[in-house]
Amino acid sequence: MEYNSHKALRGGDSMLYEYLIENYKPNEPIFTSDIELGLSGNTLRPLLKQLCDQGLLKRFDNGVFYIPSQSRLKGGVPIAAGTVAKYRYITRRGKIEGYYSGYTFANQVGMTLQVPVTVEIVSNEASAKVRDIEIKGQTIRLRKPKTTVTKENAKVLQFLDLLCEVDRLSDESEDVVSKRLRDIIKKQNIQKKDIDEYISLYPVKVYKNFYEKELYDVFA
């Protein structure tokens, strides 16, 4: 969808639309608090409404918009609540702020066949130790991380979180669990020095699980 083909745009909405198409992909959530144009809320809101009225932008929820992707379906394909949660709490404006955890991550890596109704996320954006929020009917369980999540440590923290709760989360045999854990270490390129740096943040049972499942052998 090219900006120049929409001649009705002018002034503030033109500037805003140019900014949005340069900084966001179609169907990528746009949080109004992230828009860096120096516009006040009173100025920004009517401009966003104008773009929505012209079909160039869609409103998902309060403070959340997206550029609709081209589709044969009337009105395009709406974005999912899980997508909004991912961009709000895990990859905010390209910066790693969190990761999936609990049954959500266990299911992703084949530790359990249970498909969780609640999406579990550990995020720097979490305001409480544990808190459930709703995004358009989807429950998101947010947890504060044990230390600030960064691009460099997200994978090892996610792995150690899983190792801490693996006995509760997994419905696989011990052999399968050990194999899955080894596969995660290899696939995510987790190094022994990374484990050593962060494992002290976790309960003693994480050390116990690490040795009982002979995971140090992966680094041999």
pLDDT digits (tens, 9 = 90+) for 1-51: 333 444 445 555 788 999 999 999 999 999 999 998 877 878 889 999 999
Kind and range of the H or E run holding 207: helix 204-212
Q: How many residues in total does the chain contain?
A: 220
Q: What HEC string does 150-192 produce?
A: CCCCHHHHHHHHHHHHHHHHCCCCHHHHHHHHHHHHHHCCCCH
Is the model's pLDDT at 82 over the cut of 90?
yes
Neighbours of 178 (CB within 10 A): 18
DSSP conformational letter for 115: -
Looking at per-residue pLDDT, the higher value among 72 and 162 belongs to 162
What does the pLDDT read at residue 4?
41
CATH class of 3-66: mainly alpha
For the chain, what is the mean pLDDT? Answer: 89
Share above pLDDT 90 across residues of the chain, in percent, rounded to a whole number: 71
Residue owning tokens 């669990």:
177
Local structure of 10: helix, strand or coil: coil
What does the pLDDT read at residue 205?
93
Letter string b/e over residues 148-173, b meaning 16 or more CB atoms within 10 A of that residue's CB: ebeeebbbbbbbbbbbbbbeebbebe
- Average of per-residue pLDDT across 53-69: 93
* Euclidean distance between CA atoms 101 and 88, whole angstroms: 15
The amino acid that residue 213 corresponds to is K
What does the pLDDT read at residue 173?
87
What does the pLDDT read at residue 28?
95
Local structure of 133: helix, strand or coil: strand
Q: Where are the domains of the chain?
A: 3-66, 81-219
Is the model's pLDDT at 98 over the cut of 70?
yes
Among 97-111, 112-126, 204-218, the minimum mean pLDDT is found in: 204-218
- Average of per-residue pLDDT across 96-122: 95
How far does the chain reach from its first CA to its final CA, in angstroms?
Answer: 52
* Euclidean distance between CA atoms 89 and 79, whole angstroms: 16
Interior angle at CA 39, CA 36 and CA 43, nearest 5: 140
In contact, 138 and 120? CB cutoff 8 Å? no
Is the model's pLDDT at 219 over the cut of 50?
yes
Task: Please give the C-alpha separations between residue 6 and each of 1, 44, 51, 54, 207, in angstroms, as whole numbers.
Answer: 9, 19, 11, 9, 60
Task: Please give the C-alpha separations between residue 200 and each of 109, 168, 189, in angstroms, as whole numbers.
Answer: 24, 21, 20
What does the pLDDT read at residue 5?
41
- Residue 12's contacts (CB-CB under 8 Å, 6 or more residues apart) are 39, 43, 47
In contact, 210 and 164? CB cutoff 8 Å? no
What does the pLDDT read at residue 172?
85
pLDDT digits (tens, 9 = 90+) for 161-209: 999 999 999 988 888 899 999 999 999 999 999 999 999 999 999 999 9
What does the pLDDT read at residue 7?
45
What does the pLDDT read at residue 220?
65
pLDDT confidence band for 129 (50 / 70 / 90): very high
